[in-house]
């Protein structure tokens, strides 16, 4: 019997290897492709997914081993050789995929000795698969109707066996036993949802201990087949995870460590006094904090990783906002920022513009005639979409040069952020225009607070600021305090927008640590704002997001050790509603579910300016 060289067969194989190859470094996750012959493309899908064990049931009929579970399901041409042995040779000869060694677990459905006799005949032409006995490409492991264990030594390399008891362990031919295989249902009736009960865990661990005591790996069959089950079995120490979805299981378990995060140093939170919260006192100042991409799951993850508490989650008045833009179900930051800043829906990518291309007045512009000073603080470039929505009017968010030019023309009294380079490029140096418009450029946050002029700015970096993981440390809460101190020193009402930009970056990159670290850092800025509001008594603090990023869910975690598992459904924004928290006078008026544009209109109303619009 000679291996086939069918061209279309190889085309499919190469395509699968290219599309499904397991990531490097993931081979320590051992997946068993259960009843692999039932897959749409047997062998190749499992091999390309990096599985460590592939199962084929065989039935002996007319001197041929057919791959099937019972005689009634035998299909012409579906033999052990055609579906498995020939493809394995092709993979090895053509150097396809990672060439990781694996087990072909052959489950005998017919009488053991006759089936074994035929198997040895069919293996004979494929000696190249195991010519390297120290590191064979394939090991053949017999399951199902096996010969008596006393006869295991009769069968030559590469034939091994699985063993299906942890009770009858006397005189085991260990050199011929490759692994222990046990029915999960003998230990637990768990359906793969929720968690295993403690007594089941004890029994499963004992079975695993026995197998490992003999120096052998273990597999459970008839296991529940879900992400929760895969994770639970892996954490128990099961060596081969049994599944009908080998690609999905491999991908999930291989990426698990990248989606688990334990926060090493939880931050202290601020506990509000609530003395002014929900009262009818006059609102003098407004502080709007925007966590870019900070949906409910991101906020929850930051809380669970921070000793199960945030300053933000102490607040009592909250609602939800819808985030759709004027021209798309899923907004970008430019349109969302414009909606928050102006109370007007905008097209994606446009900054401070109505859909018809005319400028939309933002809060700093609207409030200036009423004697308000305004400021913006961001961990992004100042020309980034969200901060720009509070001072610029441009049809395209990538018009960085034009956006930078708009800052000097705005009524802002304060800016703090990164991206000084954006104000140096081009024929006109916008830095000079900022100074001509009255901005005193501080050299540090401390220097900024001491400025006596009406307008001040601080460029925290020439390029972008680093993430927390890159060493940014406490810039945002310190900038929040400095910005509040500067504006409060003017003895005029003020509006201040503060943006945490990198929660969004973490969502786009599917980086769990970034989402959580930046979320906790954002909460430290929230604490500064709420602390000021408590001391002032006439400041309304609003905390929200422009949109959600990443489609984040939280399958598992452990609040005892500040560990959270995140799972992402996308690398883009989503249409999920995002929370709004309010603290201070009139905070109860921000409850409910409403459009993002209503943040603007509600603010104008509580400031008692609506009739003058």
Cβ burial of 435 (10 Å; 0-12, 13-18, 19+) is middle
189 vs 26, more confident: 189
pLDDT in tens, 367-409: 999 999 999 999 999 999 999 999 999 999 999 999 999 999 9
Quote the mean pLDDT of the chain: 94
Q: Are 188 and 204 in contact (CB under 8 A)?
A: yes
Name residue 291's beta-bridge partners: 500
pLDDT in tens, 568-596: 999 999 999 999 999 999 999 999 999 99
The answer to whether residue 13 scores a pLDDT higher than 60 is no
Q: Do domains 29-255 and 279-571+599-612 have the same CATH topology?
A: no
Average the pLDDT over each of 5-19, 259-273, 285-299 and give the range with the smallest value.
Answer: 5-19
Please state, for a pLDDT cut of 70, what percent of the chain lies above it. 95
Question: What is the DSSP secondary structure assignment for residue 279, as one 8-state letter?
Answer: -
> Residue for token digits 């005029």?
492
Three-class DSSP category at 557:
strand
Q: Report strand pairing: 53-61 vs 64-67.
A: antiparallel
The answer to whether residue 241 scores a pLDDT higher than 80 is yes
To which CATH superfamily is domain 279-571+599-612 assigned?
Alkaline Phosphatase, subunit A (3.40.720.10)
Ranges of H-type helices in 111-237: 112-123, 198-213, 227-236
Between CA 562 and CA 489 the distance in angstroms is: 39
The answer to whether residue 426 scores a pLDDT higher than 90 is no
- Residue 521, phi then psi, degrees to nearest 5: -65, -40
Closest CA to 505 of 258, 291, 305: 291
CA angle 577, 581, 585 (to 5 degrees): 140
The answer to whether residue 11 scores a pLDDT higher than 90 is no
Q: End-to-end CA distance of the chain: give it in Å, rounded.
A: 87
Which band of pLDDT confidence, cut at 50, 70 and 90, is reported for residue 76? very high
Q: Where are the domains of the chain?
A: 29-255, 279-571+599-612
Q: Span 25-39, mean pLDDT?
A: 83
Residue 351: CB atoms within 10 A of its CB come to 34
CATH architecture of 29-255: Alpha-Beta Barrel (3.20)
The answer to whether residue 194 scores a pLDDT higher than 70 is yes
pLDDT in tens, 279-307: 999 999 999 999 999 999 999 999 999 99
Chain centroid, CA 563 distance in Å: 14
Tokens of 482: 């400095």
Question: What is the DSSP secondary structure assignment for residue 79, as one 8-state letter?
Answer: B
Q: What pLDDT score does 157 carry?
A: 96
């Amino acid at each position: 019997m000679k291996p086939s060289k069918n061209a279309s067969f190889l085309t499919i194989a190469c395509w699968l290897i290219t599309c499904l190859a397991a990531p490097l470094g993931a081979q320590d996750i051992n997946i068993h492709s259960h009843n692999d012959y039932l897959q749409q493309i047997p062998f190749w899908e499992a091999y390309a997914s990096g599985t460590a064990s592939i199962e084929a049931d065989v039935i002996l009929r007319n001197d041929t081993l057919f791959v099937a579970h019972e005689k009634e399901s035998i299909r012409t041409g579906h033999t052990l050789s055609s579906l498995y042995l020939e493809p394995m040779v092709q993979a090895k000869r053509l150097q396809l995929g990672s060439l990781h060694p694996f087990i072909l677990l052959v489950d005998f459905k017919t009488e053991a000795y006759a089936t074994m006799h035929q198997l040895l005949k069919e293996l004979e032409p494929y000696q190249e698969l195991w010519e390297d006995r120290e590191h064979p490409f394939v090991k053949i492991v017999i399951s199902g109707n096996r010969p008596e264990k006393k006869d295991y030594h009769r069968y030559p390399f590469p034939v091994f066996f699985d063993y299906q008891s942890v009770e009858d362990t006397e005189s085991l031919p260990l050199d011929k036993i490759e692994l222990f295989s046990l029915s999960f249902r003998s230990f637990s009736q768990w359906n793969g949802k929720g968690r295993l009960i403690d007594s089941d865990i004890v029994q499963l661990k004992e079975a695993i201990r026995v197998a490992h005591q003999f120096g052998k790996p273990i597999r459970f069959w008839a296991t529940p087949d879900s992400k929760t089950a895969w994770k639970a079995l892996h954490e128990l120490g099961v060596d081969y995870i049994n599944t009908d979805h080998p690609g999905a299981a491999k991908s999930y378990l291989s990426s698990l460590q990248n989606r688990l995060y334990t926060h090493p140093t939880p931050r202290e939170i601020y506990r509000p006094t609530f003395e002014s919260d929900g009262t009818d006192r006059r609102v003098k100042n407004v502080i709007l904090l925007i966590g870019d991409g900070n949906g409910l799951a991101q906020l929850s993850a930051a809380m669970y990783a921070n000793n199960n508490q945030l300053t933000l989650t102490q607040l009592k008045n909250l609602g939800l906002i819808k985030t759709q833009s004027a021209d798309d179900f899923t907004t970008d930051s430019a349109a969302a920022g414009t909606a928050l800043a102006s109370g007007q829906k905008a097209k994606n990518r446009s900054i401070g513009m109505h859909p018809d291309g005319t400028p939309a007045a933002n809060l700093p512009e609207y409030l200036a005639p009423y004697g308000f000073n305004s400021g913006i603080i961001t961990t992004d470039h100042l020309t980034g979409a969200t901060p720009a929505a509070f001072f610029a009017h441009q049809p395209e968010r990538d018009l960085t040069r034009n956006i930078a030019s708009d800052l000097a023309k705005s009524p802002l009294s304060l800016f703090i952020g990164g991206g000084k380079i954006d104000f140096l490029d081009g024929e006109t140096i916008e830095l000079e225009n900022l100074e001509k418009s009255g901005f005193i450029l501080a050299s540090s946050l401390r220097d900024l607070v001491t400025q006596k002029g009406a307008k001040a700015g601080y460029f925290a970096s020439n390029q972008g600021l680093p993430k927390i993981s890159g060493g940014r440390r406490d810039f945002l809460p310190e900038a929040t305090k400095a910005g509040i101190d500067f504006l409060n020193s003017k003895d005029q009402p003020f509006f201040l927008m503060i943006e945490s930009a990198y929660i969004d970056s973490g969502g786009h990159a599917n980086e769990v640590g970034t989402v959580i670290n930046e979320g906790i850092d954002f909460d430290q800025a929230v604490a500064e704002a709420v602390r000021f509001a408590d001391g002032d008594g006439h400041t309304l603090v609003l905390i929200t997001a422009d949109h959600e990023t990443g489609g984040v869910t939280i399958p598992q975690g452990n609040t005892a050790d500040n560990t959270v598992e995140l799972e992402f459904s996308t690398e883009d924004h989503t249409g999920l509603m995002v929370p709004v928290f309010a603290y201070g006078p009139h905070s109860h008026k921000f409850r409910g579910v409403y459009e993002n544009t209503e943040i603007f209109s509600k603010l104008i109303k509580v400031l008692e300016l609506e009739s003058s619009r």
